[in-house]
Structure 1
Amino acid sequence: MTDTAYDPDNIFAKILRGEIPAHRVYEDADTLAFMDVMPQGPGHTLVIPKAPARGLLDADPASLAALAASVQRVARAVKAAFEADGLTVFQFNEAAGGQTVFHLHVHVVPRFDGVPLQRHEGGMADPTVLAGHAERIRAALEV
């Protein structure tokens, strides 16, 4: 059986504490959204709760509600910012479920007709490109 305890030193916890930089898109009292550094497409954004939770199953219901509201708000902005035809929104739990960072997070990826998702392990994106994508989403959030 795998260890399912929350690790406060996971990379997303470090981002929340400001120990690791991130291209932040949106933040409120309960959540943070930032660009995925290994995007599966332009505009790939992650939304996380600030409350510690390894995944969906151990998250506090109030934290989940705040996360869902932020995912919706960020998804609308991502779709608008990239003039996407649609969105793919996904969330993994535990290694067997595809999770690689063990802090609850939701992926929001703008999608375009006929364009497949890129591999998530495709390498780190250019930080300048990510900064530009983050700015586009922040601008869409202000509308």
Structure 2
Amino acid sequence: MAASAQVLKRPIYFGSFLVTSQVFYSTAHSFALVNLKPLLPGHVLVCPNRVVPRLKDLSTDEVTDLFLTVQKVSKVIEKIYKADSLNIAMQDGIAAGQSVPHVHAHIIPRHFQDLPQDQIYAMLESEDGDLGRNYLEAQHPAVMKNGARPKFPTVHPDAEREPRSEEVMAEEAKWLAGCMGEGEEGKGRL
């Protein structure tokens, strides 16, 4: 049975980062959360509950649930953001650009001519697409100010995007949780 973030009884982690308030959908094996620094409006993540770095580390049940959750969340995101298409991406391992060692799929709503065709992939691999660094800076600013830097691959930052506050992300998660219960996609799951 799926649940909204407002009724979750357990803490939820994305890698080592506590993200319970950012979760807007949860199943037996997966959860969906809003993004700290979305590349485009509506950019969300879907992760397995179990923290493992690679897709190959998941059980068949976990993989099935993960991709069914990606499909379900995608339908809702596409509808509410009036997207023409979606980018669905997974960076499976460090060499593929993964910055948080926890399997996750990006769902990014797209509109015709919003960006040059393949620019979204460069953005995913940029410093601002570096989720590990972004969460570390947001949750442990003192560590980052003392000169400690995570060893995540980085490129040039996109100065236009700022990390969002916990409150802003919790509010978006609450709104999306409500959207997950609407229409055919949400029946019986929230």
The aligned residue for residue 23 of structure 2 is: 24
Judge conservation of contact 1:25–1:33 (CA < 8 Å) in 2: yes
Task: Please state whether the residue corresponding to 2:123 is helix, strand or coil.
Answer: coil
Give aligned pairs, total. Answer: 130
The aligned residue for residue 137 of structure 1 is: 176
Judge conservation of contact 2:14–2:51 (CA < 8 Å) in 1: no
TM-score of the pair, normalised by structure 1: 0.78
TM-score of the pair, normalised by structure 2: 0.61
* Identical residues among aligned pairs (%): 25
Residue pairs, 1:1-143, within 5 angstroms? 12-15=14-17, 19-116=18-115, 117=120, 119-120=123-124, 121=128, 122=158, 123-125=162-164, 127=166, 129-143=168-182
Q: Which runs of 5+ in 2 are unaligned?
A: 1-12, 129-157, 183-190
Looking at secondary structure, tell me which structure has more helix per residue.
2
The separation in 2 between residues aligned to 1:113 and 1:135, in whole angstroms, is 28
Identify which range, 92-101 or 112-121, moves more after superposition: 112-121
The separation in 2 between residues aligned to 1:128 and 1:81, in whole angstroms, is 21
Q: Following TM superposition, where does structure 1 have runs of at least 4 consecutive aligned residues deviating by more than 4 angstroms?
A: 126-129
Which structure has the greater CA radius of gyration?
A: 2
Q: RMSD of the alignment, in Å? A: 2.2
The aligned residue for residue 7 of structure 1 is: none
Judge conservation of contact 1:90–1:107 (CA < 8 Å) in 2: yes
Query: Post-superposition shift, 1:135?
Result: 4.0
Query: Post-superposition shift, 1:93?
Result: 1.4
